[in-house]
């Protein structure tokens, strides 16, 4: 069998399995819209009509300029995506920590201003001898 026919057979088998699973688990219609895509009509939490689109492809990789392809590396791409997600999470946590620190600093400044205001109202001497 040729490479293309092997890939077509694999794609069709996966689409068939996905279609059967969706029909069984979700009791939903599965609408084939191309040789590699299916659409599933669904309703969201607010009862709005939506579609889920599933595309199955067998990637060959990227052209290398020599008339062939550099192999597709799903493992490498998964690692890169995991790293990207970890970086995003770290940035988010750093941003949240910065916002928290800024809020705490504002609160300290507010309290200091309040104390200074009290000093100005009562006078330093009155505060020193307060409670005597």
* pLDDT above 70: residue 132: no
For the chain, what is the mean pLDDT?
90
**Residue 40 and residue 29 in contact, taking contact as beta carbons nearer than 8 Å:** yes
Phi/psi-derived region of residue 57, left when phi > 0, alpha when psi is between -120 and 50, beta in every other case: beta
* pLDDT above 70: residue 48: yes
Asked which of 32-36, 59-63, 104-108, 115-119 is least confident by mean pLDDT, the reply is 115-119
pTM over 0.75, yes/no: no
Question: What pLDDT is recorded for position 131?
Answer: 63
Domain boundaries, the chain: 1-58
Q: What is the average per-residue pLDDT within 99-121? A: 87
Using the Cα atoms of residue 43, residue 45, residue 47 and residue 49 in order, give the sign of their dihedral. negative
pLDDT in tens, 34-43: 999 999 999 9
């Amino acid at each position: 069998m040729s490479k293309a026919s092997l890939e077509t057979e694999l794609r069709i088998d996966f689409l068939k399995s996905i279609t059967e699973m969706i029909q069984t688990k979700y009791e939903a219609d599965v609408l084939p819209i191309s040789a590699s895509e299916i659409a599933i009509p669904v309703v969201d939490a607010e009862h709005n009509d939506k579609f889920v689109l599933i595309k199955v492809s067998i990637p060959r990789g990227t052209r290398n300029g020599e008339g062939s392809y550099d192999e597709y590396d799903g493992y490498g791409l998964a690692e890169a995506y995991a790293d990207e997600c970890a970086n995003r999470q770290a940035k988010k946590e750093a941003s949240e920590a910065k916002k928290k620190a800024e809020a705490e600093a504002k609160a300290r400044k507010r309290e200091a201003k309040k104390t200074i205001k009290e000093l100005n109202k009562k006078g330093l001497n009155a505060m020193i001898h307060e409670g005597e």
